[in-house]
A and B are shown apart, each in its own frame.
Chain A
């Protein structure tokens, strides 16, 4: 890129960045609209009586009448859709069959536990995976290549319940180092609460880190190998920048772009992993709630869980997109149209 075009475009940077962020937020909103529309249609157009998904035999006639007004089950599909969106805007997602409470009130406290687990796992995965990816990129060769590709195949092949059971069996039942499940010891003193939660989090977090680590290592490694071939790296070396300085100072920032992008794409998988992991460890998040809801055939709760998880994932994807934009100066300058 010549100096003239650079100075010519720099003053425009704030507006293109603003444009970029607006576009990404719109895209996120559109994705969420698509997700909830799909849910709406699936539940209504499934063979059989759609009311079975919202009304259980155990409800009183008053409850049924109230739900009918709320969801408009006797009206046209379009009117139902408008009502559905309007209800959702008020966080109204129907009544749980089993708990006989509004779905939103059950989900919100549990969402916190799931996000805590997912957030911690993701943080630790990146903390271990990025340096490991850099390390394997700097020590490439037949042996490292083979080991990395084999480990990645094993990583994507893990069946989460097996890994979780093995961890509980080893660390909780045999060695007695960690609690078997749950998130807190009942009746624990407030001063020890955080340490207690941390101890309960160890095994579920390890499970999710092991499952997701391979992909982060792979992407960091591949993009690091690409970046290290670039001219500006050769220039930095020629200037006499140390090997460490080139790796961590010059190359890593650009090598991070695909890693952050793949982190965004991994979020859905991370949620799926959390659902299975929470079940084994009785972690009180949305995952174990989904398990209970399946056993109890509690459809409104399952629908609410999907909507809330979809919203969280779309929001987190938006954040990773913005991190990519921050890392990638081409997006800052050109609003995402690379060249």
Chain B
């Protein structure tokens, strides 16, 4: 009997499929959307704080700007931030996890202690401090979120590496004299990729939640539309209880993004570790 490929097995997982579909929608919104929808700026002739209607699908804000346009442009910001955060977190977490798990010994133990310390420190107050001092900008927030997202990734890659490093094919590679860097980044990484991939989807999701939280607290970039920023403007202007659409729609966009990536992670995880009775 032929073994099913990863893609075939994943396709059987309904929640994973829903997540993937959600991500495709999000990508369309974030990449194609801003090409079709005008950038909301300045004041508008439309009625301020108008209810959702045929003309303004999701209503307008206090300046009369269309909320739908803001959410489309916010999708672009969220995508940029989560992709940057994942790249930064991978750049730190994957090498540290590989080195710590493969070399072991003192060096490995030291890196593991650093991972543990980084996991204990409460990161949100620290991110707030850094973003406040650095000044609001989308790229700062993206990098800051990435810099604080690597510890779980490093821990996961380390644990997989520890398991893989004792397998015969790695021992054989060492005996053959293949450089350690090649073994780590080629032979081990490809087999540790599964669990790491699951964590990357979680980092994508968490990055968007964190960015929304930071913008909601007032640390967002005033020159870029972001879902958390829409909430902050409504909250600061005291419109949050009567203009419910200014709270509900951006929040739903955030949760749609986050749930899609978390479902994708769940799908990948259950495809890699199927529950067998």
Which of A's residues lie within 8 Å of B, judged by CB? Answer: 30-31, 34-35, 38-39, 42-43, 46-47, 53, 145, 149-150, 153-154, 156-162, 165, 168-169, 173, 265, 267-268, 271-272, 275-276, 279, 290-291, 293-295, 297, 299, 302-303, 305-306, 309-310, 313-314, 317
Residue of A nearest to B214 (CB): A294
Are B117 and A271 in contact (CB-based, < 8 A)?
Answer: no
Are A317 and B130 in contact (CB-based, < 8 A)?
Answer: no
Closest 7 CB pairs of A and B: A162-B251, A272-B124, A268-B122, A306-B125, A157-B258, A271-B122, A157-B259
Are A291 and B119 in contact (CB-based, < 8 A)?
Answer: no
Q: Report which residue of B121, B134, B209, B248 has the largest number of chain A beta carbons within 10 angstroms of its beta carbon.
A: B121
**Which residues of A lie under 8 Å from residue B133 when comparing CB positions?**
42-43, 46, 53, 299
- B241-269 contacts to A, CB under 8 A, are 241, 244, 247-248, 251-252, 254-255, 258-259, 262-263, 266
Give A306 to B219 CA distance when docked, in angstroms.
16
Q: A145-B275, A291-B218, A309-B122 are in contact. Are A39 and B255 (CB under 8 A)?
A: no
**Which residues of B lie under 8 Å from residue A267 when comparing CB positions?**
122
Give A213 to B160 CA distance when docked, in angstroms.
28
- B114-133 contacts to A, CB under 8 A, are 116-117, 119-126, 128-130, 132-133
Minimum Cβ distance to chain A for residue B199 (Å): 13
Give A149 to B263 CA distance when docked, in angstroms.
10
**Which one, B15, B132, B212, B254, contacts A149 given CB within 8 A?**
B15
Q: A162-B251, A290-B128 are in contact. Are A310 and B122 (CB under 8 A)?
A: yes
Are B129 and A317 in contact (CB-based, < 8 A)?
Answer: no
Judged by a CB distance under 8 angstroms, whether B240 is at the interface is yes
Are A169 and B244 in contact (CB-based, < 8 A)?
Answer: yes
Give A223 to B205 CA distance when docked, in angstroms.
26
Minimum Cβ distance to chain A for residue B276 (Å): 13
Which of B's residues lie within 8 Å of A, judged by CB? Answer: 15, 116-117, 119-126, 128-130, 132-134, 202, 205, 209, 212-213, 216-219, 231, 235, 240-241, 244, 247-248, 251-252, 254-255, 258-259, 262-263, 266, 270, 275
**Which one, A161, A168, A306, contacts B231 given CB within 8 A?**
A161
Are A294 and B218 in contact (CB-based, < 8 A)?
Answer: yes
Are B15 and A272 in contact (CB-based, < 8 A)?
Answer: no
In the complex, besides A150-B15, A157-B205, A271-B122, 8 extra interface pairs with C-beta distance below 8 angstroms are A31-B121, A157-B258, A169-B244, A267-B122, A272-B123, A291-B217, A310-B122, A313-B122
SS of B interface (majority): helix
Give A182 to B136 CA distance when docked, in angstroms.
29
**Which residues of A lie under 8 Å from residue B122 when comparing CB positions?**
267-268, 271-272, 306, 309-310, 313
Give A38 to B117 CA distance when docked, in angstroms.
12
**Which one, B120, B231, B255, B270, contacts A268 given CB within 8 A?**
B120
**Which residues of A lie under 8 Å from residue B132 when comparing CB positions?**
293-294, 297, 299, 302
Are B124 and A271 in contact (CB-based, < 8 A)?
Answer: yes
Are B219 and A159 in contact (CB-based, < 8 A)?
Answer: no
Q: A165-B240, A279-B217, A291-B217 are in contact. Are A317 and B120 (CB under 8 A)?
A: yes
Residue of B nearest to A279 (CB): B217
Residue of A nearest to B210 (CB): A272
Are A160 and B213 in contact (CB-based, < 8 A)?
Answer: yes
Minimum Cβ distance to chain A for residue B221 (Å): 14
Minimum Cβ distance to chain B for residue A236 (Å): 23
**Which residues of B lie under 8 Å from residue A297 when comparing CB positions?**
132
Are A158 and B255 in contact (CB-based, < 8 A)?
Answer: yes
Are A275 and B125 in contact (CB-based, < 8 A)?
Answer: yes
Query: Can you list 23 A-B contacts with CB-CB less than 8 angstroms, sorted by A residue number?
Result: A31-B117, A35-B121, A38-B126, A43-B129, A43-B133, A149-B266, A153-B262, A153-B263, A156-B205, A157-B258, A159-B212, A161-B213, A161-B235, A161-B247, A162-B247, A169-B244, A267-B122, A271-B122, A275-B213, A276-B217, A293-B132, A294-B218, A310-B122
**Which residues of A lie under 8 Å from residue B258 when comparing CB positions?**
157, 159
Q: A39-B129, A159-B254 are in contact. Are A314 and B216 (CB under 8 A)?
A: no
Give A152 to B258 CA distance when docked, in angstroms.
13
Minimum Cβ distance to chain A for residue B230 (Å): 11
Q: A153-B259, A271-B125 are in contact. Are A265 and B251 (CB under 8 A)?
A: no
**Which residues of A lie under 8 Å from residue B212 when comparing CB positions?**
159
**Which residues of A lie under 8 Å from residue B218 when comparing CB positions?**
291, 294-295
Give A165 to B212 CA distance when docked, in angstroms.
15
**Which residues of A lie under 8 Å from residue B205 when comparing CB positions?**
156-157
Minimum Cβ distance to chain B for residue A304 (Å): 10
Are A165 and B247 in contact (CB-based, < 8 A)?
Answer: yes
Give A156 to B74 CA distance when docked, in angstroms.
21
Are B262 and A156 in contact (CB-based, < 8 A)?
Answer: yes
**Which residues of A lie under 8 Å from residue B263 when comparing CB positions?**
153
